Structure 1
Amino acid sequence: MRLHAGTHEHGKEPRRDEEEGRRIDLNERAVRIVQRIGIRRWQTVLDFGCGFGIYTIPVARIVGRKGKVYALDKDKDALDHLMQKADSAHLKNMEIITSSGGPKIELPEESVDVALLFDVLHHYYFPQMDERRRLMDEIHRITKANGFISVWPKHLESEARDEIERANFYLEKEYSGTLIHNNKDIETGRVMNFRKKLGFC
């Protein structure tokens, strides 16, 4: 069937318009979220468990050419999709890190200003407390002096604060509002920002 300009088949164009509108809405929400938690120009940011990059792309745009974003995940298909999006958006400040799924992070000490941990601190990914402790030790190691981490502990909120503070961070701010889950679902949640302590207490 040949279609001419101004026509559509069985509502397919309106459906695509709806999908495009939803995509734009999600992107705009993601920008507002990462700006609110404190993402700024020239920062170096780790998006731990970035998935398809609903937050990674907005962060890369905000930090700019002089900033850097490390996108870490164990899902290679998701990372490939993310890099395609980055290439389409002409973003050259993003580096992919393929994880084994464990707590080890292949970055130098004190190399990031901000680490995002959105919906990754839970029993599915890190079922043992010791695994989460080692992860937080790694996050502490790679975070710059006076850097911070931003955590959405969707499935582990009751335990997350204590575990993070034991890793030598202190709670600085909390934000409640709409967040994006699984790259598509809008939910209400609470984000906690923890600042790295200077020296051990």
Structure 2
Amino acid sequence: MDIEIWLRKYGEEFLRDIGISEGQIVLDFGCGSGYYTIPTAKILGGKGKVYALDKNREKLNEVKEMAASESLSNIEIIKTSGEAKIPLKDASVDIVLLYDVIHSYHFSPPVRKELLREVYRVSKFNALISVYPRHMDLEEAYNEMVRANFLFENRLFKKLLHNGTLVEDYVLNFRKK
């Protein structure tokens, strides 16, 4: 039920509020079932693109199915083996979504450091890096991002989707400088 409400109502509103707009190139790192990918693709329109990156083939198949059912052709699926390496060109994305991925369950601190270097590499100048640190202290997430040379922009308290449930929580937004 929450997933449907998110996809039909809150998802696009939330993503527009963080700064996603038509024509951008977005990386949804650790996209899972695509609950951020799909509303992002709708906002971007035909001139934009979402890279939906995940290690779980089953989840990526769900993204493909949802994209097909919504007639969305601006999503590129990227299957990885769960490493921090991002198979995209340098300075190729406008926005990176790091939602519920930069914590110890998925990546140890040294691997998170490597991941943030990769995010920096693939991000264009002034790209937005939006972080939802659900299983991590906000201050710890903030410090890791600043140490990785991202400039803090704002902290938003919003309604968003976590593990299929609507929650209200903080999202931290940074810029590549």
TM superposition score normalised by structure 2? 0.95
**Runs (4+) off by over 3 Å:** none
Q: 1:84 — aligned with what?
A: 65
Q: Look up the match of 2:159.
A: 178
User: Any conservation in 1 of the 2:160–2:166 contact (CA below 8 Å)?
Assistant: yes
Matched to 1:83, the amino acid is K
Asked if 1:191 corresponds to 2:171, the answer is yes
What is aligned with 1:133?
113
Residue 94 of structure 1 pairs with residue 75 of structure 2: yes
- Does the alignment pair 1:149 with 2:129? yes
Deviations along 1:47-104, one digit per CA (max 9) or x if unpaired, are 0011101110000010110001000011100001110110111111110011111110
AA aligned to 1:151 is V
Distance, in Å, in 2 between the alignment partners of 1:146 and 1:185 is 31
Looking at structure 1, the residues matched to 3 and 105 of structure 2 have their Cα atoms a distance apart, in angstroms, of: 28
- Identity of counterpart residues, as a percentage? 45
Q: Secondary structure at the match of 2:35?
A: coil
Supply the AA of the counterpart residue of 2:6. L
Note the aligned Cα RMSD (angstroms): 1.1
1:8 aligned residue: none
User: C-alpha distance in 1, partners of 2:127/2:22?
Assistant: 14
Alignment partner of 1:69 out of 50, 68, 78: 50
Give the greater-gyration-radius structure (CA).
Answer: 1
Query: Residue 65 of structure 1 aligns to a residue in which SS?
Result: helix
Equivalent-residue separation in structure 1 for 2:66 and 2:145 (angstroms): 32
Could you say what secondary structure the match of 1:69 adopts? strand
Aligned residue pairs total 175
Structure number with higher relative contact order (C-alpha < 8 Å, ≥ 6 residues apart): 2
Residue type of the alignment partner of 1:189: D
CA apart distance, 1:158: 3.2
Task: Tell me the SS of whatever aligns to 2:116.
Answer: helix
Unaligned 5+ runs, structure 1 = 1-18
1:162 lines up with 2:133 in the alignment: no
Ranges in structure 2 where 5+ consecutive residues have no aligned partner:
none
* C-alpha distance in 2 between matches for 1:75 and 1:24: 22
Query: What letter matches 1:41 in structure 2?
Result: E
| Structure 1 counterpart of 2:88 | 107
Deviation at 1:23, TM superposition (A): 4.4
Q: TM-score, normalised by structure 1?
A: 0.84
Name which of 51, 54, 61 aligns with 2:35: 54
Equivalent residue for 1:40?
A: 21
